[in-house]
Amino acid sequence: MGESVAGVGTTMVVKELKTCFDLGVLTPAALSTNNIFLSHAHTDHCGEIFNYLAVRALERRNLATIFAPPAMARELSQILNQWQTFAASAFDYRIIQCYPKAPVPLKNQTTVTALELAHEPATVGYLVEETVQKLRPVHDSLPAYEIALRKKRGDGDLFYEQVRPLFAYVPDTLPEGLDALPEAAWQARVLAVEATFLDDRKPLDKVRQGRHLVLDDILERLPRFTGEHLLLFHFSKIYTPEEIVAIVDKRVPPEWRHRVKLFL
Ligand SMILES: [Zn+2]
């Protein structure tokens, strides 16, 4: 759920995870989400944070937790302090610094890890993973009551832990950022990747100056993706929604097309 237009505003709420990735547009779903993960300081990705906190203060909502890469988190903390003085308001929030490769707990058995991307200013994506207890195959033939009994006894040998990548959010980046993604991001059930430009309407050197991807960058790397759905977002406003669908229909290989979803 949400909205995303490159340079205008990106907000992606994952209801199942009760999280929101970036806050460039203030949507009702974002407003009622307590956990906000910010990727970088460009205003189309975080500019609505003031409004989000101000409206939540008016509505007396619960504490909001803002996750951000370390440099951004430090600056944002100062700016929010200044803004509260400036606006004579008090916001209810905390800021958590997200270091790449250091998972932060989200809820029971679910963590979020920042992914280093190639964009300026310093930008991260996020990987949401869930740890589940799986019965060891050697116990497959055990009846349910026996499993329950052993579980009650605290039999440590019964299960093993499996980490499942659920969702990866990959906003603004050069192709180097895609290449640096951990395998788990490519295995995520849903991998959301920015696809700012879709064809050569914008010269490639200009695309790279803006530190963005073109659809070709993603198409070249399709075989790495083993999850269910690849969600393309952050399209440039030079394309209408109809053009986006037409270009993607034409350029994504037919055997992949049903797995590619568009965040329009
Ligand atoms: Zn950006």
pTM over 0.75, yes/no: yes
Strand order in the sheet with 110-116: 104-107, 110-116, 124-135, 159-170, 190-194, 229-233, 260-262
In the structure encoding, which two tokens stand for residue 106, read together? 């989200």
Cis peptide bond prior to 175, omega within 30° of 0:
no
pLDDT recorded at residue 7: 65
In CATH, the number for domain 2-262 is 3.60.15.10
Average pLDDT over residues 60-88: 94
pLDDT digits (tens, 9 = 90+) for 81-135: 999 999 899 999 999 999 999 999 998 899 999 999 999 999 999 999 999 988 8
- What residue ranges do the domains of the chain occupy? 2-262
Which residues partner with 125 through β-bridges? 115
> Crossing angle of helices 49-58/70-86, nearest 10°?
50
Report whether 6 contacts 44 (CB < 8 A). Answer: yes
The rounded Å distance from CA 119 to ligand 1 centre is 7
Confidence of residue 1 (pLDDT cuts 50, 70, 90): low
The rounded Å distance from CA 46 to ligand 1 centre is 10
Q: Which 8-state DSSP code applies to residue 154?
A: T
The rounded Å distance from CA 43 to ligand 1 centre is 8
**Burial (Cβ within 10 Å: 0-12, 13-18, ≥19) of residue 183:** exposed
The rounded Å distance from CA 107 to ligand 1 centre is 28
The rounded Å distance from CA 212 to ligand 1 centre is 8
